[in-house]
Amino acid sequence: MSFDEAYLRLLSKSYPTIEDASSAIVNLSAIRSLPKGTEYFFSDLHGEHEAFIHMIRSASGVIRSKIDQIFGKSLSLQDRDELAALIYEPEQKMSGMRLTEPYYDEWCRITIYRLVEICKEVSSKYIRTTVREKMPKSFAYIIDELLHTDDSEDKSRYFNEIINSIVETDIADDFIIGMCHLIGQLSIDHLHIIGDIFDRGPHADEIMNELMKLHRVDIQWGNHDISWMGAVTGNWACIANVIRLGISYNNFDLLEDGYGINLRPLSVFAMNVYRDDPCELFIPHILDQNKYDPVDVKLASKMHKAITIIQFKVEAQLIRRHPEYEMDDRIFLDKIDFDKGTVRIGEREYPLKDRLFPTVDPKDPLTLTQEEENLMRTLAASFRHSEVLAKHIKFLYSHGSMYRCFNSNLLYHGCIPMTKEGEFEKVTLDGKVYWGKSYLEYIDALVRQAYFAPKGSKERHHARDFLWYLWCGKKSPLFGKSKMASFERYFIDDKSLSKEEMNPYYALVEHREICEKLLREFGLSPENAHIINGHVPVKIKQGESPIKGGGLLFIIDGGMSKAYHSQTGIAGYTFIYNSHFMALAEHRPFEPGAKASAGESSPRLKVVEVMKRRVMVADTDNGKEMERQIEELKALLQAYRSGAIKEAE
């Protein structure tokens, strides 16, 4: 490999001497010789912040297994449970420890010793520089000394004196909390979120806050994420949708307290318009209680119906603007016979379960009333001005994408649209035909255009509308179904109309040859690559398996959302890829305050593939990038030594 002199001169700005370049080569070569770090994959978090944060801080049970490995013969089960609980929730556990622990100082000394032993184990895959980067800055020097003190007599006294000083200077609480967070950071080298952080569960905002603390994380957007991204760009259909879902699942704390969305105008509007309407079809699912913004169920039902009718109107207007979406069959308000209380779908008329539509003009059913339009402008402004939501959406853009190839794993949320014959479905957009990889790359660019194109531009408006299509369009790879049957579920008592047919992809991926075709489409070899995606809950109770295509594809939506627990029988998956194996961790429903023992809360781990040899950093994408950097630095060294480039003085 050769490098031109101009590039090497630029490189010399960062490595101005032979010593600097040589040190970097040694450092990179050393890192490449280490075992690869552990990657964790989650999908379909759906706002279940308590369960997700517990999984992250426990490294899906791995930290508990490390405790057993280190202290299994020296500590009782109860002591190991308490140590695990401390690492998972250090602030909570430390808050009252001084009052409940009679020998507090001695407890601190023992606990610090145990945390250091665990930290040594989980840091063993990293060079010291990497570990230092993750340490709490105020304690970095102390932790570094404790981790690298040997067992000699002199060093042992030094080690003990450090711990005594921590206790005597009254910094033990903060130090223990910092050590617990460091253990969590070191236990997860890289986190992959395979879509759908938002909706259903109570606090997607707290999940986003947790993700933003991590050093290495990427996100593959799901259709629920895209809907929130669309809402922030000002897409009224997306705004109505996220509010409808939020009210439907009683997420008032998220909307009003978490993101500062002002729902007062909606509540006033709903009370005025639906005052005498019981709105019985719109009673919210009460899976979680609101702490800060409790709303009366009757009022919430009226708000739910009000925003639902608005959503059907603005969606219909968007569909009319885009005949290329081929979604005219999703427009219903213009097919209602208001005198008979029926709706025509296809060649049949169906009776409506709810016949009260005070805001729908039979002569112009798709147009918002003036009050509805004013309300949507107010709601759009609330989304636009939410600083917390803006910060979270920017993170979704900076760390997110439609798909990612990483360490021979292909990651995407939903599906790659396919025909029944097993061919990639072709989609015509803006006069060009896309399929497979090219379709996802086109979408990725369009999603970014909706946020980053100049405000008011034609390109931005066009892309902004397309975000709604990604939420529910039949050829959207993030949706992957024939239709979003919301209207039918609300208003028609015929369950056959509510059936949403899955894209042929989901049946085809049972076959290995289809998975091989998908991997090749994205430039990966089926011999050592896998596909990981989510979106569709795997119903373990009904005998479904998350493993598809002869072990080439893993669907890791195990139903973390409480809404799916009864269907799946579990509460989510973690896919784990370390230097020795790939495994699926099958989680039980999370109960706050539950014990941390392996038998009571740890997931069931199933190894799905054992590596033929231990995977080293050199085998990873980062390792290959380091190899390229080493070659560049060697060329720079040669240029220094030949005199072609002079070292800095």
**What local confidence, expressed as pLDDT, does residue 2 receive?**
66
- Alpha helices (H) in 148-202, listed in sequence order: 153-168, 172-187
Asked if the model's pLDDT at residue 599 lies above 60, the reply is no
| Residue-wise pLDDT tens digits, 52-93 | 998 888 888 889 989 999 999 999 999 999 999 999 999 989
**Mean predicted confidence (pLDDT) in 204-228:** 95
**Mean predicted confidence (pLDDT) in 322-336:** 95
**What local confidence, expressed as pLDDT, does residue 604 receive?**
82
Residues 6+ apart with CB under 8 A from 459: 449, 453
**Mean predicted confidence (pLDDT) in 199-217:** 93
Residues, the chain, total?
Answer: 649
- Report the distance separating Cα 388 and Cα 285, nearest Å: 26
**What local confidence, expressed as pLDDT, does residue 153 receive?**
63
Give the chain's mean pLDDT.
92
Asked if the model's pLDDT at residue 597 lies above 60, the reply is no
Q: Which residue has the higher pLDDT, 504 or 128?
A: 504
> What is the widest separation between alpha-carbon atoms in the chain?
93
Q: Which of 31-65 are b and which e, b meaning 16 or more Cβ less than 10 Å from the residue's Cβ? A: bbebbbbbbbbbbbbbbbbbbbbbbbbbbbbbbbb
Quick one: pLDDT band at residue 569, thresholds 50, 70, 90? low
Asked if the model's pLDDT at residue 490 lies above 50, the reply is yes
CA angle 572, 576, 582 (to 5 degrees): 120
| Residue-wise pLDDT tens digits, 3-47 | 788 999 999 999 999 999 999 999 999 999 999 999 999 999 999
Q: What 8-state DSSP symbol labels residue 401?
A: E
Segment among 213-222, 240-249, 536-545, 627-636 with least mean pLDDT? 536-545
- Report which of 167, 61, 149 is spatially closest to residue 111, judged by C-alpha positions: 167
- % the chain with pLDDT above 90: 78
Tell which phi-psi region holds residue 38, choosing left (phi > 0), alpha (psi between -120 and 50) or beta. beta
CB neighbourhood size of 28 (10 A): 18
pTM over 0.85: yes
| Residue-wise pLDDT tens digits, 273-306 | 999 999 999 999 876 677 766 778 999 999 999 9
Question: How far is CA 395 from each of CA 12, 225, 231, 442, rounded to the nearest angstrom?
Answer: 33, 12, 15, 21
- Report the distance separating Cα 32 and Cα 646, nearest Å: 29
For residue 615, give the amino acid letter.
V
Quick one: pLDDT band at residue 596, thresholds 50, 70, 90? very low
**Concatenated DSSP letters of 210-274:** HHTT-SSEEEE--HHHHHHHHHHHT-HHHHHHHHHHHHHTT-HIIIIIIS----HHHHHHHHHHS
3-state secondary structure string across 422-485: CCECCEEECCEEECHHHHHHHHHHHHHHHHHCCCCCHHHHHHHHHHHHHHHCCCCCCCCECCCC
CB neighbourhood size of 452 (10 A): 12
- Report which of 611, 610, 579, 605 is spatially closest to residue 64, judged by C-alpha positions: 605
**What local confidence, expressed as pLDDT, does residue 598 receive?**
42
Residues 6+ apart with CB under 8 A from 408: 524, 525, 528, 529, 530
**Most confident segment among 129-143, 174-188, 387-401:** 387-401
Q: Tokens 């060009």 identify what position?
A: 432
- Report the distance separating Cα 147 and Cα 155, nearest Å: 12
| Residue-wise pLDDT tens digits, 332-382 | 999 999 999 999 999 999 999 999 999 999 999 999 999 999 999 999 999
Asked if the model's pLDDT at residue 600 lies above 70, the reply is no
Q: In the chain, how many H helices and how many E strands?
A: 27, 17
For residue 531, give the amino acid letter.
I
Q: What 8-state DSSP symbol labels residue 347?
A: T
Q: And the tokens for 579?
A: 């230097």
- Residue 19, classified by CB atoms within 10 Å of its CB into exposed (0-12), middle (13-18) or buried (19+), is exposed
Asked if the model's pLDDT at residue 439 lies above 60, the reply is yes
